[in-house]
Structure 1
Amino acid sequence: MAGKTATSFDELPDWAELTSRSGLQFMQDVVAGQLSGPPIGATLGFWPTVAEDGRAVFEGTPGFNATNPMRGLHGGWYGAILDSCMGCAVMTKVPKGSIYTTLEYKVNITRALPLGTHVRAMGLVSHAGRSTAIATGELRGIGDDKLYATGSTTCMIMKTQPTS
């Protein structure tokens, strides 16, 4: 796993660390391990590997802890990694002093992803305005390049309020 993952709220970046850099700088610092990433990545077995202007890539491997009652990979795992790569792609377009949040996202699962398959999820921004952004994502196997799922998202971009 690349970078480092927060294990408590104290290890997560604070507002000053978040808002004192552009979203691209923030994401690059998370990928480089200079800032801790969120614990959901460790919980679900994925992490960011690339942060470029308008693009974010995550890699991961779903494990037994993400199975559904039918012994397959739960659809929420596909959603979580795609929401992460698409949202972080949007974050790379967010100016200093602003943040984003996901308004909605959609996932299309194209085939079952076998547990233990190492995958890459790539998010690409197609629009980033003052208050909204749109991104798409693909989840592909690293070893087989098969397309396992696609996604799309709409995010809201918000200016933060200075703290006194």
Structure 2
Amino acid sequence: MTQTQTERTRTFSWTDPREHVNSLASRTGLEFLRAMASGDIPPPPIVQLIDGNELRVQEGSVTITMDPQEFHYNPIGTVHGGILSTLLDTAAACSVQSTLPAGVGYTSMDLNVKFLRPVTVASGRLTCTGTVLQRGRRTALAEARLTDGTNRLIAHATSTCLLFDLPTP
């Protein structure tokens, strides 16, 4: 493992996740995600936990980026597969969210991930793009692709999401 960080402590904070639910009731998924991408709505706690950064949104597709850090590492000195799966799940599910009307939510029903290469801090900025493949009335299918700083494919996934009406606040 290459030592790239001299101070090995980490502190982070997050906003009340209920703010997101209240905002979803009055905005389409695309409006909500664009507000998050512009900074008008704070990112959800999970994005702050993994130290995700840029979010790009268009209808049916969402891209999130993250710079690998040592605190993402597993015991063998590579980024933990759970972190990579989180990026894939986020991009795929948010791509579904970008197609939803106001008052409709989603949750991942499954996530099928294939890891192709290890990731370290030397991999450079990771870019994960999710795309909706099909959306019905109650379910949606999406895929996500994760690439490294040289645009090599690191992992890919498919996800099925369940769509449901959000409770009124």
CA-to-partner distance for each residue in 1:48-102, whole Å, 9 max, x for gaps? 5211110000011121111111112111011011111111101001111111111
Q: Give the aligned partner of residue 99 of structure 2.
A: 93
Q: Give the aligned partner of residue 33 of structure 1.
A: 39
**The one of 113, 127, 131 aligned to 1:124:** 131
Q: Is the 8 A contact 1:47 1:58 kept in 2?
A: yes
Q: Indicate the SS of the match to 2:31.
A: helix
Q: Indicate the SS of the match to 1:13.
A: helix
**The one of 83, 90, 100 aligned to 1:77:** 83
Aligned pair in 2 of structure 1 residues 129, 29: CA closer, same or farther (>3 Å)?
same
CA distance in 2, matches of 1:101, 1:76: 18
Aligned pair in 2 of structure 1 residues 41, 15: CA closer, same or farther (>3 Å)?
closer
Moved more, 153-162 or 78-87: 153-162
**The one of 141, 151, 163 aligned to 1:145:** 151
CA distance in 2, matches of 1:23, 1:80: 19
Aligned-pair identity (%) = 25
Letter in 1 for 2:51: G
Matches for 1:37-116 after TM superposition, within 5 Å: 37-116=43-122
| Deviation, structure 1 residue 45 | 2.2
* Structure 1: 5+ residue stretches without partners: none
Aligned pair in 2 of structure 1 residues 106, 49: CA closer, same or farther (>3 Å)?
same
CA distance in 1, matches of 2:41, 2:75: 36
* Structure 2: 5+ residue stretches without partners: 1-11
CA-to-partner distance for each residue in 1:18-73, whole Å, 9 max, x for gaps? 11011111111100111111122222121352111100000111211111111121
TM value normalised by structure 1: 0.89
Q: Is the 8 A contact 1:105 1:153 kept in 2?
A: yes
CA-to-partner distance for each residue in 1:2-28, whole Å, 9 max, x for gaps? xxx97232x752433111011111111
Aligned pair in 2 of structure 1 residues 157, 150: CA closer, same or farther (>3 Å)?
same
Q: Is the 8 A contact 1:6 1:37 kept in 2?
A: no
Q: Give the aligned partner of residue 159 of structure 1.
A: 165
Aligned-residue Cα RMSD (Å) equals 1.7
CA distance in 2, matches of 1:74, 1:32: 29
- Structure 1 stretches of 4+ moved >4 Å: none
CA-to-partner distance for each residue in 1:99-141, whole Å, 9 max, x for gaps? 1111110111111112252111000000111110110010012
Aligned pair in 2 of structure 1 residues 159, 108: CA closer, same or farther (>3 Å)?
same
